[in-house]
A and B are shown apart, each in its own frame.
Chain A
């Protein structure tokens, strides 16, 4: 079974803080993704990576950056957290023709 873990289930941060969300997968998948999920908006892609040290902007990259130094780990960074970044953050991995994605349990971030 694919296992995708995220560093925290719940996180509370203050406006202006730097926030790191980590995602680790154990299936040697090439592709990794960061989404945010908001009610009524579904999942929106922030960034994705299809190889180590490679990254590509998704649909809403503003205010975020990512790091992929090792194949199994994909980090999402909020350089200066703002209240509109309060959301559920989901990491996913994928590989293969079917492009099936496997999701972590999510991190619910509250920015005060």
Chain B
């Protein structure tokens, strides 16, 4: 079945770049997403990429998609303490009657001073 995998933890120094990686299995995914969850809150969409793109940039965020390897990454430039959160990679997939989104387990990003 469909699966999305990402590492559970990442620690970076403040001001450095963070790179969060994700692999997925459904080659027919139309969209791939990055969601952010701050402590005590629900998930918030950070950015998404259409499957026929290989890169998308939005201010400090860069998303890279390698469709051949089914690999998605999120780069956060100049990481700040406010970037501390859990980041979820997700892919859209067709269910029996409607599209579903499959989420990874989330990567907890912590920032060192």
Chain B associates with chain A: yes
- For A4, A42, A100, A104, the residue with the greatest tally of chain B CB atoms inside 10 Å of its CB is A42
- Given A42-B104, A103-B44: A98 in contact with B98 (beta carbons within 8 A): no
Q: Cβ of B55 < 8 Å from any Cβ of A?
A: no
- Count the A residues whose beta carbon is within 8 Å of the partner chain — how many? 25
Q: Which residues of A contact B98 (CB under 8 A)?
A: 31, 48, 50, 56
- Count the B residues whose beta carbon is within 8 Å of the partner chain — how many? 26
Of all chain A residues, the one with the shortest Cβ separation from B100 is A45
Chain A 23-53 per-residue mask, 1 if CB under 8 angstroms from chain B, else 0: 0000000010001000011110100101000
Q: Which residues of B contact A56 (CB under 8 A)?
A: 95-98
Whether the Cβ atoms of A4 and B42 lie closer than 8 Å is yes
Measured in the bound complex, the distance between the Cα atoms of B48 and A48 in whole Å is: 22
Pick the 8 closest A-B CB pairs, nearest first.
A103-B42, A42-B105, A43-B103, A103-B43, A50-B98, A99-B92, A105-B42, A42-B103
Residues of B within 8 A of A (CB): 4, 8, 30-31, 33, 35, 40-45, 48, 88, 92, 95-101, 103-106
Residues of A within 8 A of B (CB): 4, 31, 35, 40-43, 45, 48, 50, 56, 58, 90, 92, 94, 97-106
